[in-house]
């Protein structure tokens, strides 16, 4: 049972009959949300904080309003008599007999007493969505694991959910790969490992295309650097005026001009260095000389593929299965699954119709030969058909919306995509609204960048993006060391076979990586660190998995038949603050899940789990379990251990992370 939501309903009822009645401008539902867990147990378990803002709206003294709320609040079946503190905080303490009966219900229930929602909705979650045939990199972790966790949590709470992997399987990278395949392929390598060879070809062609793009870019960058220098020179001639504000402004202008000179010079130097390195590599230089038109040629290959050219289509069909299998392999390791994988290619022959539809309804019009949707309040229009007739990413997304709405009639579609695509989604959702899809709640679940120690996007030493596979391998390898050390240190001697250690290391390593990502506020950037993610102490998967394994080892050591105990309706004793606090914490799981879905933030769940584990740790330090003074107390404490472990297991499973019995 979700105690907080129960209290919220009661508060809402109490608020509704208040005198004088709050006027319509007062958001009663918003006020009813102001039931929060207490920061300090000495103020009870929950606190109602809405008396102060409400008193302001009613122009009455806050304590008086708090008292009226308390008088009207019907919670005696759940709580002890509410008390008022300070300027009008209402403190609530859940009755111990209620805690005990809720724990008993949880113990006997597979879902730990967590009910599915009363109003189930149809969701579509669009996550992972890598561009096929390019190697998956560190950035793909975020969308995959955040999306997967949201998917799991929605499903657990009883919603209908479709997980759809909208892979980029039709983009310009295929033109590059086809060009590479036609000119540079190594047949033996392709036979031995098609995906590795295709991704080599992609990188090679991309590099060559990048060379010519860089050459075209260089004069522009130089111009920019010169302009910045000129601005700086001008700024340096400005003499102090004696007016403090003006001088401060001028100093800022000067600082900015200095920064611009520095950064533009750096950009020129970096690009020059990059081009020079390619010139200096004889093999690369030869290719550069032999393929001066490679950029246009690669685009041409994409255009041919899209217009149904037989040879290119056949190649594409040949490339796709091994590429998909490579993706699958990563997903299997990450335990990420989908109901559908409807990539961009799936929508290819629907694009023309979608564009025409917008045009026919007068929602899009031509501008310089391109078809554009002009959106209310937006400066830049959304391009849906280029001058040459080609369609765009946005066109595909509009076709995808149409398809999804017709097939699943979703209440909400969640796009778990990085923050750099914010403008795209803003425009997309506005266009969908224009097209009449306004009953559906479209959400961009955006997330920040994974950074290296230097505070810049996480790269390998040579400046390449970090491949996902290597990342997973390294996490697992480091976990293996930790698992081995732990096992060696076991007072009863090592417990794990080599095979078991390997399995545990995989679970711990992958779990650490996922948890490190999920425990971040998704909209922030975060620094990638193996040491932090695998720490045995702190808010990490390793700590949670260890807490779980420790509980399980108590049962093993004590020869406890926990299944039998669960069925026995143990009267859990809550006589010490540590026991009571742990009980309350266990029962807050449903609340945490609700919170995690408010704005689709899995870190709400990790925060909860960390709190639970901390309360468990206090309990474990203060309350002997196997050596409890009476058999009744021993059983009671065993139940608290069990419920903690099961809650951790459930919480981790909703993050897509497994537990291990021993580590």
Residue 421 backbone phi and psi in degrees, to 5: -100, 15
Question: Which range, of 122-130, 271-279, 317-325, 625-633, touches ligand ARG by CB under 6 A?
Answer: 122-130
Asked if 197 touches ligand ARG (CB under 6 A), the answer is no
- Cα angle 376, 378, 383 (rounded to 5 degrees) comes to 100
Q: Least separation, in Å, of the C-beta of 601 and ligand ARG? A: 19
Residues 7-26 that bind ligand ARG (CB under 6 A): none
Asked if 129 touches ligand ARG (CB under 6 A), the answer is yes
Q: Is 11 helix (H, G, I), strand (E, B) or coil?
A: helix
Q: Least separation, in Å, of the C-beta of 211 and ligand ARG? A: 23
The span from the CA of 88 to the CA of 90, in Å, is: 6
Q: Match 């539902």 to its residue by tokens.
A: 29
Asked if 166 touches ligand ARG (CB under 6 A), the answer is yes
Q: Least separation, in Å, of the C-beta of 343 and ligand ARG? A: 8
Nearest partner of 63 among 73, 51, 72, judged by Cα: 51
**Which one, 129 or 645, has the nearer CB to ligand ARG?**
129
**Which one, 129 or 652, has the nearer CB to ligand ARG?**
129
What is the side-by-side order of every strand in the sheet holding 382-385? 364-367, 370-373, 382-385
Judged by CB under 6 A, which of 131, 395, 585, 644 binds ligand ARG? 131
Question: Which range, of 129-137, 529-537, 560-568, 591-599, touches ligand ARG by CB under 6 A?
Answer: 129-137
x/- track of binding to ligand ARG for residues 523-552 (CB under 6 A): ------------------------------
The span from the CA of 6 to the CA of 330, in Å, is: 42
Q: Is 493 helix (H, G, I), strand (E, B) or coil?
A: coil
Asked if 515 touches ligand ARG (CB under 6 A), the answer is no
Q: Least separation, in Å, of the C-beta of 404 and ligand ARG? A: 10
Asked if 620 touches ligand ARG (CB under 6 A), the answer is no
The span from the CA of 180 to the CA of 195, in Å, is: 13
Question: Which range, of 126-134, 331-339, 366-374, 632-640, touches ligand ARG by CB under 6 A?
Answer: 126-134
Q: Least separation, in Å, of the C-beta of 33 and ligand ARG? A: 32
How many residues of this chain bind ligand ARG (CB under 6 A)? 10
Q: Least separation, in Å, of the C-beta of 421 and ligand ARG? A: 7
Judged by CB under 6 A, which of 146, 327, 417, 648 binds ligand ARG? 417
Judged by CB under 6 A, which of 45, 68, 260, 397 binds ligand ARG? 397
The span from the CA of 273 to the CA of 280, in Å, is: 10
CA atoms within 13 A on the CB side of 364: 27
Asked if 168 touches ligand ARG (CB under 6 A), the answer is yes
CA atoms within 13 A on the CB side of 438: 6
- DSSP class of residue 345? G
Asked if 141 touches ligand ARG (CB under 6 A), the answer is no
Beta strands in 381-434 (DSSP E): 382-385, 412-418
Asked if 415 touches ligand ARG (CB under 6 A), the answer is yes
Residues 215-234 that bind ligand ARG (CB under 6 A): none
- Do the Cβ atoms of 460 and 516 come closer than 8 Å? no
Asked if 602 touches ligand ARG (CB under 6 A), the answer is no
Question: Which range, of 123-131, 154-162, 222-230, 298-306, touches ligand ARG by CB under 6 A?
Answer: 123-131
Dihedral class, residue 364 (left if φ above 0, else alpha if ψ from -120 to 50, else beta): beta
The span from the CA of 439 to the CA of 587, in Å, is: 35
The encoded tokens of residue 244 equal: 């403090």
**Which one, 261 or 413, has the nearer CB to ligand ARG?**
413
Q: Least separation, in Å, of the C-beta of 302 and ligand ARG? A: 15
H helices of 599-630, in order, are 603-622
Asked if 126 touches ligand ARG (CB under 6 A), the answer is yes
Residues sharing a CB contact under 8 Å with residue 244, sequence separation 6 or more, in sequence order: none
The span from the CA of 319 to the CA of 193, in Å, is: 11
Q: Least separation, in Å, of the C-beta of 131 and ligand ARG? A: 5
Question: Which range, of 52-60, 63-71, 128-136, 376-384, touches ligand ARG by CB under 6 A?
Answer: 128-136
Q: Least separation, in Å, of the C-beta of 140 and ligand ARG? A: 8
Question: Which range, of 127-135, 144-152, 489-497, 590-598, touches ligand ARG by CB under 6 A?
Answer: 127-135
Widest distance between CA atoms in the chain: 86
CA 182 vs CA 175, 201, 212, 293: distances in Å: 11, 10, 20, 15
x/- track of binding to ligand ARG for residues 47-66 (CB under 6 A): --------------------
CA 86 vs CA 33, 51, 290, 503: distances in Å: 20, 11, 80, 54
Burial of 462 (0-12, 13-18, 19+ CB in 10 A): exposed
Burial of 252 (0-12, 13-18, 19+ CB in 10 A): exposed
**Which one, 149 or 644, has the nearer CB to ligand ARG?**
149
**Which one, 129 or 315, has the nearer CB to ligand ARG?**
129
Asked if 579 touches ligand ARG (CB under 6 A), the answer is no
Site residues for ligand ARG per CB under 6 A: 126, 129-131, 166, 168, 397, 400, 415, 417
């Amino acid at each position: 049972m979700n105690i907080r939501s129960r209290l919220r309903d009661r508060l809402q009822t109490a608020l509704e009959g208040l005198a004088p009645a709050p006027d319509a401008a007062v958001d009663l539902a918003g006020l009813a949300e102001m039931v929060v867990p207490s920061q300090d147990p000495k103020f009870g378990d929950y606190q109602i904080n809405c008396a102060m803002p409400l008193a302001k709206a009613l122009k009455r003294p806050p304590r008086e309003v708090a008292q009226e709320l308390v008088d009207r609040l019907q919670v005696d079946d759940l709580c002890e008599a509410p008390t008022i503190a300070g300027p009008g905080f209402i403190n609530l303490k859940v009755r111990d007999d209620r805690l005990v009966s809720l724990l008993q219900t949880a113990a006997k229930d597979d879902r730990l007493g967590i009910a599915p929602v009363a109003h189930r909705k149809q969701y579509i979650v669009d996550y992972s969505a890598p561009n096929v045939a390019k190697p998956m990199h560190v950035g793909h972790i975020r969308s995959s694991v955040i999306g997967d966790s949201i998917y799991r949590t929605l499903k657990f709470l009883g919603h209908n959910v479709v997980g759809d992997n909208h892979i980029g399987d039709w983009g310009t990278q295929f033109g590059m790969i086809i060009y590479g395949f036609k000119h540079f392929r190594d047949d033996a390598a392709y036979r031995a490992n098609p995906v590795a060879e295709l991704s080599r070809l992609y990188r090679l062609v991309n590099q060559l295309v990048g060379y010519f793009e860089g050459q075209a870019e260089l004069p522009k960058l130089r111009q920019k650097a010169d302009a910045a220098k000129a601005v700086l020179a001008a700024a340096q001639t400005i003499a102090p005026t004696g007016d403090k504000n003006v001088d401060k402004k001028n100093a800022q202008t000067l600082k900015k001009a200095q920064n611009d000179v520095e950064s533009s010079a750096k950009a020129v130097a970096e690009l020059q260095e990059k081009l020079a390195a390619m010139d200096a590599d004889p093999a690369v230089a030869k290719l550069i000389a032999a393929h001066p038109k490679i950029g246009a040629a690669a685009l041409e290959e994409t255009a041919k593929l899209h217009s149904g050219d037989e040879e290119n289509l056949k190649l594409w069909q040949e490339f796709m299965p091994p590429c998909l299998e490579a993706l699958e392999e990563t997903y299997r390791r990450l335990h990420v699954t989908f109901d559908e994988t409807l990539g961009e290619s799936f929508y290819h022959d629907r694009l023309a119709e979608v564009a025409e539809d917008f045009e026919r309804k007068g929602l899009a019009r031509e501008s310089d030969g391109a078809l554009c949707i002009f959106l209310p309040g937006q400066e830049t229009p959304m391009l849906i058909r280029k001058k040459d007739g080609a369609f765009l990413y946005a066109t595909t997304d509009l076709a995808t919306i149409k398809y999804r709405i017709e097939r699943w009639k979703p209440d909400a579609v969640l796009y778990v995509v990085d923050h750099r695509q914010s403008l795209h989604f803003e425009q997309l959702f506005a266009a969908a609204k224009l097209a009449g899809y306004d009953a559906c709640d479209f959400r961009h679940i955006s997330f920040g960048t994974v950074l290296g120690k230097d505070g810049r996007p996480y790269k390998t030493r040579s400046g390449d993006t970090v491949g996902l596979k290597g990342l997973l391998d390294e996490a697992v390898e480091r976990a293996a060391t930790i698992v081995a050390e732990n096992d060696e240190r076991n007072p009863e001697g090592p417990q794990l076979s080599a095979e078991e250690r390997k399995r545990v290391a995989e679970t711990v390593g992958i779990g650490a990586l996922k948890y490190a990502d999920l425990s971040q506020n998704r909209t922030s950037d975060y620094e990638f660190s193996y040491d932090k993610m695998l720490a045995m102490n702190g808010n990490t998967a390793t700590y949670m998995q260890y807490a779980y394994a420790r509980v399980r080892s108590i049962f093993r050591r004590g020869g406890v038949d926990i299944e039998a105990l669960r069925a026995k309706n143990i009267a859990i004793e809550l006589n010490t603050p540590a026991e009571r606090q742990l009980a309350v914490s266990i029962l807050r799981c449903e609340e945490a899940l609700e919170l995690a879905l408010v704005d689709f933030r899995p870190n709400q769940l990790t925060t909860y789990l960390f709190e639970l584990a901390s309360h468990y740790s206090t309990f474990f330090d203060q309350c002997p379990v196997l050596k409890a003074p009476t058999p009744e107390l021993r059983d009671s404490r065993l139940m608290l251990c069990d419920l903690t472990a099961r809650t951790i297991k459930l919480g981790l499973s909703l993050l897509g992370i497994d537990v291990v019995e021993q580590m």
